[in-house]
């Protein structure tokens, strides 16, 4: 059941990027937090399966460690330099990635943020859990 939801979320995030280029195959970068978890592995599989279904070219990248902010920024810049028309990103750090993502978005690259919302208005599209609402719901349930 969890994998189904992850794949649906990946398909949704990729579908948001598709109206980019109707004539050519859309190039979409997917930048995850890391590679050492079943969660991110499922997200990668969902993104690749959705790309095949929707006819997009998807490149998935991730730092080896979920704490390596500088590597994630390098990978982000590399995806933009490789001509990604859209980037789906799970930022490791909501503050540290805000400016690099905003600088790429200004160049016309569509950005979809998943899992961890950024500070500021660097990316208007977020797919993930509203942690505040989830905490309030848990509090009501436990009260």
Percent of the chain with pLDDT over 70: 84
Distance CA 36, CA 104 (A): 27
- Averaged confidence pLDDT in the chain: 87
pLDDT at 19 over 80: no
Distance CA 29, CA 7 (A): 16
pLDDT band of residue 16 (cuts 50, 70, 90) is: low
96 vs 50, 57, 72, 78, CA distance in Å?
A: 29, 28, 10, 17
Q: Residue range 54-75: average pLDDT? A: 96
pLDDT of residue 143: 87
Entry pTM: 0.80
Strands (E), 32-132: 57-61, 86-89, 110-114, 125-127
Selected residue with higher pLDDT from 14 and 98 = 98
Q: Residue range 40-58: average pLDDT? A: 94
Q: Residue range 86-98: average pLDDT? A: 95
């Amino acid at each position: 059941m969890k994998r189904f939801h992850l794949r649906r979320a990946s398909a949704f995030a990729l579908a948001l990027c598709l109206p980019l280029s109707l004539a050519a195959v859309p190039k979409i970068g997917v930048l995850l937090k890391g590679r050492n978890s079943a969660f991110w592995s499922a997200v990668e599989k969902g993104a690749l399966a959705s790309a095949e279904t929707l006819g997009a070219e998807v490149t998935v990248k991730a730092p080896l460690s979920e704490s390596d902010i500088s590597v994630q920024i390098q990978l982000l810049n590399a995806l933009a330099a490789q001509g990604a028309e859209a980037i789906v990103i799970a930022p490791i750090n909501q503050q540290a990635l805000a400016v690099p993502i905003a600088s790429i978005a200004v160049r016309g690259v569509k950005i979809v943020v998943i899992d961890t919302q950024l500070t500021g208005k660097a990316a208007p599209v977020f797919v993930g859990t509203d942690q505040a609402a989830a905490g309030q719901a848990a509090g009501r349930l436990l009260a």
